[in-house]
Amino acid sequence: MRTLLKYREVWLLAAIAAMVAVISLRFPGFARPGNLAAVFNDTAILMILALGQMAVILTRSIDLSMASNLALTGMVVAMANAAYPEIPVPLLIVFAMAIGLALGALNGLLVWKLGIPAIVVTLGTLTIYRGATFVVSGGAWVNADQMSPAFISLQRGAFLGLPVLSWIALAVIALFYLLMTRTPLGRSIYAIGVNPTASVYAGIDVGRTKFVVFCISGLLAGLSGYLWISRYVIASVEVANGYELNIIAACVIGGVSIAGGIGSVGGAVLGALFLGIISTALPVINISPFWQMAISGGAIILAVVLNARSERKIGRIILREAAA
C-alpha cells in the first residue's frame, strides 16, 4: 500500500474522485457514468495535446506554439473542405497531421540545428503561426454551413457507447504509452531529461531526439486541429487562443517536471482530466469563472511545489546512495 501511495498518479486520481464526490453533492447526476463519459469526451483534445507537450517537456524543452499550430492546421483543412467537399475526410485528417508535423519539424530544426532555446523558438512561431492563420483566411471565418456533413459528423459518431473522439484519444494514449515505455526513443527522451551530457556519452543524439519530439507534438497538434474544428464547427483566427497555457498546466498538474526527465502518460492524462472536470462541472454548480481560474491556478502552484519537493527528495536519495 505504501508503495502504491508513492505514485503521483494515485494521489491525483484520489483528488479527482474527491472533486467528483463534492460536485455530486450539489449536482447528483454528475457522477453518472454517461455524464463522466461526456466529461472525458470534452477533455479528449486536451489529453492529446498534453501528451505531445509532455514529450517535449521531458527533454527539458517546451512548445508554446501547439495551440497556434492547431489553429492554423484547423483553418487550412476547414478551408480545403469548404472548397472541395468531395475530398474524403480521412484524407483531410492525414493532411492536417502532415501540416502539423511540418510546423513541429520547423520548431525542431531551429532548436536542433541553430541551438536556439526552445522557449524562444516556439514563442516566435506561436506568433508566426497565428499570423499565418489570419493571412491564409484573410480574417474570415469558416462556419458550419460551409463544412460538409461528413467533415463534422466523423468524430461525433459512437462506437460501443463512446463517441469516436473518445476512442481517438484512447488510441493516442495507448500508442503514447507504448512509445514512452517500450521503445528506445521513449528511453532516450527520459534519459535526455535526466542528464543530457551523460546521454551523449551513452550514444544518444540529443539534438535529433529533440527534433523528433517536436515533430510528435506538431503531429498531435495537427490531428487536434481537425478534431477541434469539426467538434466546434467554426474555424477562425481566435481558435484555441491562449490554450497553450491549459496544455502546459495539464502536464504540470499531472506531475511532469518542467526540469525534464520526470513524468508519465497517466499523469498527463489525469492532469488534463482534472482541468476538464473543473471547466465542465464548476459552471454547473454556479461557481464564478473567476473562481475557476483561481482553482486552476492554485492547482498549478501546488503541483509545482510538489514536483520541486519530490525532485529534491530524489536528489538526496541519489546522493546518499552514491555516498554509500
**How many angstroms separate the CA atoms of 49 and 91, rounded?**
21
DSSP annotation string for 51-83: HHHHHHHHTT---TTHHHHHHHHHHHHHHHHHH
Question: Which pLDDT belongs to residue 165?
Answer: 92
pLDDT at 229 over 60: yes
Q: Where do we find the cell 551523449?
A: 200
pLDDT at 112 over 90: yes
- 153-174 pLDDT per residue, tens: 888 887 887 899 999 999 999 9
Average pLDDT over residues 221-226: 96
AA identity, residue 308: A
Lowest mean pLDDT among 138-142, 200-204, 293-297: 293-297
Q: Distance from CA of residue 26 to its chain's centroid?
A: 30
Question: Which pLDDT belongs to residue 255?
Answer: 86
CB 219 within 8 A of CB 63: no
**How many angstroms separate the CA atoms of 264 and 225, rounded?**
24
- The domains found in the chain, sorted by start residue, are 2-323 (1.10.3470)
CB 73 within 8 A of CB 142: no
Question: Which pLDDT belongs to residue 10?
Answer: 81
- 21-65 pLDDT per residue, tens: 888 887 777 778 888 888 899 999 999 999 999 999 999 999 999
Averaged pLDDT of the chain: 86
% helix / strand / coil in the chain, to the nearest 5? 80, 0, 20
**How many angstroms separate the CA atoms of 324 and 319, rounded?**
9
Question: Which pLDDT belongs to residue 316?
Answer: 40
